[in-house]
Amino acid sequence: QLQLQESGPGLVKPSETLSLTCTVSGGSISSSSYYWGWIRQPPGKGLEWIGSIYYSGSTYYNPSLKSRVTISVDTSKNQFSLKLSSVTAADTAVYYCARLGYNWNDAMWYWGQGTLVTVSS
């Protein structure tokens, strides 16, 4: 059974860079044709897609976040990562990693449990 687990600091200061890693177990990032992605959910609000990545490194980002987002993959560690720069309080959210289908904007089939990141000084 595929499992995903987010990890990273739970508190980030305004203007700094948020960094999270998603570790995949029960399957290999590089041996499948699936995309992998990040989604966030501000407290009490709805879901927002941040971006997707293929094991080859091809990336697709939400146009509203594109200038601040970098998603990368490390196939040797079976991990992919998110960096979001110049954060503000509006970036406070639960961040989820997920395995998508065969397209970068496909349905999200498997989800991590999520990690709350708070932006505050």
Helix, strand or coil, per DSSP, at residue 113: coil
Which residues, in sequence order, are CB contacts of 44 under 8 Å at separation 6+? Answer: none
**Is 10 buried (19+), middle (13-18) or exposed (0-12) by CB count in 10 A?**
exposed
48 binds another protein (CB under 8 A): yes
42 binds another protein (CB under 8 A): no
- Nearest to another protein of 15, 109 (CB atom): 109
54 binds another protein (CB under 8 A): no
58 binds another protein (CB under 8 A): no
- Nearest to another protein of 57, 101 (CB atom): 101
Closest separation in Å from C-beta 109 to another protein: 5
How many residues of this chain bind another protein (CB under 8 A)?
19
Among 36, 38, 54, 96, binds another protein (CB under 8 A): 96
Strands of the chain, DSSP E: 3-7, 11-12, 18-25, 36-41, 48-53, 59-61, 69-74, 79-84, 93-100, 108-111, 115-119
Closest separation in Å from C-beta 113 to another protein: 6
